[in-house]
């Protein structure tokens, strides 16, 4: 191909986790280069013979060893020509969800340091990663209301109160417990188990499961997941 172009293509992943009523993001400490010791999203350059999707998965694997529950393309950042001080780089950003309670960050092959940060207390970020993160957060908030992705931030079996808190926390809203429960249960996409989880205090609560297959089936029949708010 006789096109003369000197633009590099990278992928970045915004990995969200949720624990103790806090939304967290996974960041990596840069070990080399101008931005050494700054924190950045998981990511790196795409190889010539891998798809974008393979590239993100590889980076996630190499840099953190994590397995994500949900992954989708978010946006491609290429409108700031100088977003990377090393040269012209565009970044295809992906948006990932993890049940982070089961996940221990590992310092891996590339031996960078990976760490969870509460989005309430973020460090300075390298490149335009703050912008990317804000974009991802908006997407998360929107998507929560029309797709059942909240479940991907919770353990397989979860308490209703945790689901409720997740929605309250991420959307900054107060929700009526009774109406919320009624609404979610009316969808018929979660199932009561016979197990109980426990908080420190109070009456023990049933554990619930998200029925993904049922959800997929209903979706094909025209069902639309949707949570409104007062």
Partner DNA sequence: CCAAAAGTGTTTGCGCTACACCCATGC
Partner DNA sequence: GCATGGGTGTAGCGCAAACACTTTTGG
* Interactions with a copy of itself, residue window 83-102 (CB under 8 A): 86-88, 90, 92
For the chain, state the CA radius of gyration.
Answer: 20
* Interactions with a copy of itself, residue window 11-50 (CB under 8 A): 45-50
What the block records as the tokens of 172 is 């900054």
| DSSP labels, the chain | -------EEEEEEEEEEEETTEEEEEEEE--SSTTTT-EE-EEEEPPTTS-HHHHHHHHHHHHH----SEEEEEEEE-S-TTSSTTS-EEEEEEEEE--GGG------TT--EEEEEETTS---BSTTHHHHHHHHHHHHHHHHHHS--GGGGS-SEEEHHHHHHHHHHHHT----HHHHHHHHHHHT-EEEEEEEE--SSSS-EEEEEE-HHHHHHHHHTT--------
Question: Token pair 């049940």 is at which residue?
Answer: 99
Q: Which does 6 bind (CB under 5 to 8 A by kind): a copy of itself, DNA, none?
A: a copy of itself
Is the Cβ of residue 74 or residue 159 nearer to DNA in the bound state? 159
Using rule CB under 7 A, residue 176 touches DNA: yes
Using rule CB under 7 A, residue 203 touches DNA: yes
Using rule CB under 8 A, residue 149 touches a copy of itself: no
Which residues are catalytically annotated?
Answer: 113
Using rule CB under 8 A, residue 7 touches a copy of itself: yes
Using rule CB under 7 A, residue 191 touches DNA: no
Q: How far is the CB of 41 from DNA (least distance, A)?
A: 34
Is the Cβ of residue 7 or residue 185 nearer to a copy of itself in the bound state? 7
Q: Are 29 and 112 in contact (CB under 8 A)?
A: yes
Site string for DNA, 134-163 (x = CB under 7 A): -------------------------xxx--
Using rule CB under 7 A, residue 188 touches DNA: no
Q: Which residue among 37, 73, 101, 118 contacts a copy of itself (CB under 8 A)?
A: 73
Where does this chain bind a copy of itself (CB under 8 A)? 1, 3, 5-9, 45-53, 73, 75-76, 78-81, 86-88, 90, 92
Where does this chain bind DNA (CB under 7 A)? 159-161, 176-179, 181-183, 186, 199-206, 228-230
């Amino acid at each position: 191909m006789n096109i003369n172009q000197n633009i590099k293509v990278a992928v970045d992943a915004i990995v969200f986790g949720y624990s103790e009523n806090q939304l967290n993001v996974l960041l990596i400490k840069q070990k080399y280069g101008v931005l050494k010791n700054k924190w950045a999203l998981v990511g790196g350059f795409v190889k010539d013979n891998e798809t974008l999707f393979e590239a993100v998965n590889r980076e996630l694997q190499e840099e953190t060893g994590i397995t994500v529950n949900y992954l989708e393309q978010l946006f491609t950042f290429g409108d700031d020509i100088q977003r990377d001080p090393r040269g012209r780089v565009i970044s295809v950003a992906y948006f990932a969800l993890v049940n982070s309670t089961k996940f221990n960050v590992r310092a891996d092959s590339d031996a960078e340091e990976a760490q969870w940060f509460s989005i309430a207390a973020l460090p300075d970020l390298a490149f335009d990663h703050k912008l990317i993160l804000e974009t991802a957060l908006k997407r998360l908030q929107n998507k929560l209301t029309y797709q059942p992705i909240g479940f991907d931030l919770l353990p397989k079996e979860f308490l209703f109160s945790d689901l409720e808190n997740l929605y309250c926390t991420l959307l900054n809203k107060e929700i009526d417990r009774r109406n919320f429960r009624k609404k979610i249960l009316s969808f018929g996409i979660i199932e009561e188990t016979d197990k109980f989880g426990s908080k420190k205090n109070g009456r023990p609560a049933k554990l619930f499961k998200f029925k993904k297959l049922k959800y997929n089936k209903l979706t094909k029949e025209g069902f639309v997941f949707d949570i409104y708010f007062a």
